[in-house]
A and B are shown apart, each in its own frame.
Chain A
Amino acid sequence: MAQTIELEIFRYRPEQESEPTLQSYEVPYNEEWVVLDAINYIKDEIDGTLSYRWSCRMGVCGSCGMMVNGVPRLTCAAFLKEYYPRKILVEPLDGFPVERDLVTDMDMFVAKLTSVSPWIIRNEGEEKPLEEGTYLQSPGELAEYKHYSMCINCMLCYAACPVFALDTNFLGPAAIAIGQRYNMDSRDQGRDQRQEVIASHDGIWHCTLVGECSTVCPKDVDPAGAIQRAKLSSTTDYFKDLLMPWGRRT
């Protein structure tokens, strides 16, 4: 008989049950399969009622983040052979409300992300006319922010962050890293605007540098490092404003 592996999956269908349950499925074991392949197999062959998000299957879209044996993982990058022959427990990402089965409500994250204005901001009247071409940037200027720009908004860092688990008001790792991505961009002039959110009490200051966000990040964005840099620059701003209030940055 072909080898199989057991997946225990978090189920929650609000129209038929008030409490979530766990449901076990036996799927064929294939060395090349990732957890997402096994879940797709369940959906296609065993139980079409299972709900979950996925899209690209290759670590780019950031949709298939789930808790795999308690650890936030992209299920498209978590191979069955890492767990075989033990069973695999799949749950929705920690820290977010569950809509149905493995699908979480992302509104909270999207609101946090939007609050840091994640786009290039130019001062009033300083936008270059189109005919003058693009804003040029040196390789050094690009290197300042490039690794932060690799974020795929998969929210694994939020699911891993113990501070976010205790207080969802915390702006959180990805939003701060993405804010830094634009702050460090030589074409951007929006840092002061973002500081209103990033340097606020619910911004960087909840972080206690546990570092789990950087550990679980599938794209090596290092949100913890971004937060530390933001703490340092915000502290410098604070003392500059305190000592030289007339030198207020515009």
Chain B
Amino acid sequence: MAKSNEPIFWSLFSAGGMIAALVLPTLMVITGLVIPHGFAPLDALSYERVHAVVSGSIVVKLVLFGVIALPFFHWAHRFKFTLVDVGLRKISLLLAVLCYGSAIAGTVFTAVVLWRI
């Protein structure tokens, strides 16, 4: 039987899901509770401060790259399979190109933006 290339997309999907599950609640707590309620200084996430942290460190850029790019693939995989499951099985190849293509475009865009900071 034909060997499947699905492991590439599934591993990116899984990694993206893991990142989203770990990072989203953390971000919600920081931006939704900690800062608005004054548990941290109001300017903790100010533009200048965040810009300085990101622009000053390749490690931070790499982490941000993973945190932003991997969930794109999580979305692409889930969205493609959802569309296939609601009846678009016949055009699944087209859906794959559109969904994963968007994720790749988003990844490249993320890399460019982070590179320029």
* Cross-chain contact of B4 among A162, A166, A167, A201 (Cβ < 8 A): A201
What are 7 A-B contacts with C-beta separation under 8 Å? A200-B1, A201-B6, A202-B1, A205-B4, A205-B6, A235-B7, A239-B11
Known A-B contacts A196-B1, A200-B3, A202-B1; the reply to A208 vs B81 at CB < 8 A is yes
Known A-B contacts A234-B7, A235-B7; the reply to A201 vs B2 at CB < 8 A is yes
Taking a contact as CB atoms under 8 Å apart, the answer to whether B11 and A199 are in contact is no
- A192-211 residues with Cβ-Cβ distance < 8 A to B are 196-197, 199-203, 205, 208
Contacts of A238 in B (CB 8 A): 7-8
Contacts of B1 in A (CB 8 A): 196-197, 200-203
Asked if A13 is an interface residue, CB under 8 A from chain B, the answer is no
CB distance from B13 to the nearest CB of A (A): 10
Q: Bound state CA distance, A203 and B1, in angstroms?
A: 10
Taking a contact as CB atoms under 8 Å apart, the answer to whether B81 and A235 are in contact is no
The secondary structure that dominates the A interface is helix
Known A-B contacts A163-B85, A166-B85, A166-B89; the reply to A199 vs B4 at CB < 8 A is yes
Which chain A residue has the least Cβ–Cβ distance from B1? Answer: A200
Contacts of B2 in A (CB 8 A): 200-201
Asked if B115 is an interface residue, CB under 8 A from chain A, the answer is no
Please give the residue numbers on chain B whose beta carbons come within 8 Å of chain A beta carbons, in ascending order: 1-4, 6-8, 10-11, 14, 81, 85, 89
CB distance from B100 to the nearest CB of A (A): 14
CB distance from B76 to the nearest CB of A (A): 14
Taking a contact as CB atoms under 8 Å apart, the answer to whether B89 and A239 are in contact is no
CB distance from A62 to the nearest CB of B (A): 27
Q: Bound state CA distance, A243 and B8, in angstroms?
A: 13
CB distance from A191 to the nearest CB of B (A): 15
Contacts of A146 in B (CB 8 A): none
Known A-B contacts A208-B81, A239-B11; the reply to A200 vs B4 at CB < 8 A is yes
Taking a contact as CB atoms under 8 Å apart, the answer to whether A239 and B7 are in contact is yes
Q: Chain A: how many interface residues by the 8 Å CB criterion?
A: 19
Most B-side CB within 10 Å, residue of A196, A202, A203, A205: A205
Contacts of A162 in B (CB 8 A): 85
CB distance from B27 to the nearest CB of A (A): 25
Q: Bound state CA distance, A234 and B14, in angstroms?
A: 13
CB distance from A196 to the nearest CB of B (A): 6
Asked if A87 is an interface residue, CB under 8 A from chain B, the answer is no
- A137-191 residues with Cβ-Cβ distance < 8 A to B are 162-163, 166-167
CB distance from A230 to the nearest CB of B (A): 11
Taking a contact as CB atoms under 8 Å apart, the answer to whether A235 and B10 are in contact is yes
Task: Given contacts A162-B85, A205-B4, list 20 more A-B pairs with CB under 8 A.
Answer: A166-B85, A166-B89, A167-B89, A197-B1, A199-B3, A199-B4, A200-B3, A200-B4, A201-B4, A201-B6, A202-B1, A203-B1, A205-B6, A205-B10, A208-B81, A208-B85, A231-B10, A234-B7, A235-B11, A238-B8
CB distance from B9 to the nearest CB of A (A): 9
Q: Bound state CA distance, A237 and B3, in angstroms?
A: 12
Contacts of A208 in B (CB 8 A): 81, 85
Contacts of B7 in A (CB 8 A): 234-235, 237-239
Q: Bound state CA distance, A116 and B71, in angstroms?
A: 34
Which chain A residue has the least Cβ–Cβ distance from B87? Answer: A166
Contacts of A166 in B (CB 8 A): 85, 89
10 nearest A-B pairs in the assembled complex, by CB-CB distance: A238-B7, A200-B1, A205-B6, A235-B7, A201-B4, A208-B81, A235-B11, A205-B4, A196-B1, A200-B4
